[in-house]
Structure 1
Amino acid sequence: MLKKLALSLCLPLMLSTTAVTAAPLISDPVALMQSILQQERAWAGLETKTIKVEDFTFAYSEGGPKTAPTVLLVHGFSGSRDNWNRVARKLTKKYRVIALDLPGHGDTITPPTYEYTLANLSESVRKFVTAMGIQKDLNIAGHSLGGGISVLYSALYFLEVRSVLLVDTAGVYANAGNSLITKPQELSKLLARKPGDFERLVTQFATYSPPFVPKELMEGYEKIHMRRLAEQEKLMAGLTEQMKWYTPDTFQTGLRTLEAPVLVVWGDKDAIIGVEAVEEIKKNLKDGEYLILNDVGHTPILEADYPVSEAYIKFLDRVQKMPNKFAPATPAK
């Protein structure tokens, strides 16, 4: 029971995509992995795009009807926009879907002087959202670190957020069971520094029942992952530093500030952020729905993409029919 854990830490979504695709014969593991990811984006109905915003070049995937309500998907620590591909495949049939590579992740180009803190990441998401012109009635979804960012973003810009999805979200919890987030001294285990580390992260921490991933794909994603090691070390250090000043009350205040309906999804076998945290979230949300998935670890968007997608689409459909409580009142006749 952690009385003072301030981490809007987020913990990895470090799992490679496992969609079954017919990949060309490529000897380089990185090139093979990138080829498969591109195929998977197309399978999900997504296109790869970039946008220049100040000193950033944000990489993102986009798909679905342009005039439909917008869903922004935010990945976790050491992950990428591709972690959402399986869920996005269901969403693009009805919604405009945008999946972003956060600063220090994926293909986004970040200024070398960027300071990796939760506040800066949230503000970077804001810059991307406003540059894209998607801030009005935004549906935002976050996994792990992306969940912590989504809470902060939705608390700050509550007039514009239509709904929130939190999946095994990072936060500052008084009780997260015996999970890794309660052991700050061991958080360095979430970084892959040498060959073999990435597979250990996937099998020991990120998933409960790890899927089969061919060796070549595992090697390719590990190399892609390790290219970002310097940025990930800065981010981990920045988030860990916040443990010196935040308490669970800080995170709870953010949750209580959320005005939009929230869907909370959690794997009951999450070894990184224990499912016990859900009870704490329940006590602080004004409008929450909850889905606990049995025998699922930290990455439900990969381990249980079908139930997550089905629940999220039903939630989104319901939310779109609800009146906007912040819309101007109709003038009396």
Structure 2
Amino acid sequence: MTQPGSNFSRFVRNLCLVTACCFTGMAVAQSTKPNTEKINLQNYLVQERNEAGLKARTIQVGEISWAYNEGGSRQKPTILLIHGLAGNRDNWNRVAHFLTPYYHVIIPDLPNNGETRTPENFDASVPNVTESLRRFVEAIDVEDKLNVAGHSLGGSIATVYASQYPFDTQSLFLLNSAGIYTQAKTRYSKDPVTLKQLIVSKPGDLEQVMHRVMQNPPSLPNAVKSAQENYLITQAAKNGKLIDQLVALNRIYTPESFARLTRTVEAPTLILWGKQDKIINVEVANELKSLLKRAEAPVILNNVGHMPILEAEQEVAAYYLPFLAKTQKMKNPLADKLIPLN
């Protein structure tokens, strides 16, 4: 897929509809609250990154100023970790802790998220974000044999990436991945307007939202949680407008578009889902598996909701690391016709 057709292009813009990704991202930019609160949150994130073996970096690529975390040796295979809607790079820190000893890990803030800066009129559609992500990985020279992982909306971006750049995608890991599924039955997928219930707009909302997107939310220091909530309140209007746009798009597209895209992916794929996901119900994991050429049986984690990367990071890594080790030995089927595609 080099130039998506109009129907495909419109479809992928809609992939984020069923994401309802974590509105609990711990971003720190542009906070209007007291400096001490912002400093507390920054210090917490720096400590968390250090424990995961990650360092914060920035790079200008065209019109985008990318902020990203990097860890592990560049002599090792590279993993690109993609966060979801309204999340940010630090959502992956807990998982990255288990990956950086063995792999080179890159975790960017996607455009219009976290500390990545874009022009005011930036096109935030999935095709354009995916293309921009490709320019980013080329700029830091990690595009070859890239292992791509995405959570929620990040899963749909990862799927588009694997479809568009099949020769360079070594493996694909999809966690509670967004898509347009025939088996989707949550209220958020049936009526996307209800996604607004996941917007943190006033004090006290964060606690409620965390329990909707997670079965067992991780504990956070009160100062960090307060700073996190105050930042998200400042972003409420922006997130509300985004959901309005997504709701309008949802009236047009169907699961068939999603199926056509997914069937083009050649990379070996691991699917993981939280059984108690209230945002994208677990039944769609098998539907997703049926669409992918080289997907393993989905891993279903009990007592986990929509955010396994925060709720069950050790289990996520325990399944991902053996999959990675196995797939590093595989040849790309497009380059070696002796390897079956199914």
Is the structural similarity TM-score above 0.5?
Answer: yes
Separation in 1, partners of 2:173, 2:196: 27
Q: Is there any run of 5+ residues in structure 1 with no aligned partner, and where?
A: 18-25
In 2, the alpha carbon distance for the partners of 1:229 and 1:220 equals 15
Worse-matched range after superposition: 254-263 or 225-234? 225-234
What one-letter code is carried by the residue in structure 1 that aligns with 2:270?
Answer: L
Instruction: Rate the CA distance shift 1:252–1:234 in 2: closer, same or farther, 3 A.
Output: same
Whether 1:294 and 2:288 are equivalent positions in the alignment is no
1:95 to 92, 98, 103: 103
**Which runs of structure 2 are paired with 1:182-261 in the superposition (5 Å)?**
182-203=190-211, 205-261=212-268
Q: Per-residue deviation at 1:171?
A: 0.7
Aligned pairs for 1:44-59 within 5 A: 44-59=52-67
Could you list the runs of 4 or more consecutive aligned residues of structure 1 that deviate by over 6 angstroms after TM superposition? Answer: none
Return closer, same or farther for 1:126/1:231 CA change in 2, 3 Å cut-off: farther
Q: Which residue of 1 aligns with 2:287?
A: 280
Q: Return the alpha-carbon distance in structure 2 between the equivalents of residues 245 and 225 of structure 1.
A: 30
Alignment partner of 1:122 out of 118, 127, 130: 130
1:185: Cα distance to partner? 2.3
- Give per-residue Cα distances to partners, 1:78-131, cap 9 Å, x unaligned: 111001001101110111000010111111112111132222222221221222
Q: CA RMSD in A?
A: 2.2
- 1:179-210 superposed Cα distances (whole Å, 9 cap, x missing partner): 5222222111122222222222112x210122
Q: Please give the TM-score of this superposition, normalised by the length of structure 1.
A: 0.89
Q: Alpha-carbon deviations, 1:28-86, whole Å to 9, x = none?
A: 33221111011100100000000101111000000101111110000011111001001
Matched residue of 2:87: which SS? coil
Residues 213, 307 of structure 2: 8 Å contact kept: yes
Letter paired with 2:189: I
SS at match of 2:16: coil
User: Scaled by the length of structure 2, what TM-score is found?
Assistant: 0.87
Secondary structure of 1:8's aligned partner? helix
2:4 aligns with: none
Counterpart-to-counterpart distance in 1, 2:50 and 2:142 = 22
Task: Map residues 162-201 of structure 1 onto 2, 5 A cutoff.
Answer: 162-201=170-209
Letter in 2 for 1:242: L
Aligned to 2:92: 84
Deviation for aligned residue 1:230 = 4.9
- Distance in 2 (CA, whole Å) between partners of 1:329 and 1:183 is 44
User: Do 2:263 and 2:292's aligned partners in 1 also have CA atoms closer than 8 Å?
Assistant: yes
Instruction: State the identity %.
Output: 40
Match for residue 29 of structure 2?
A: none
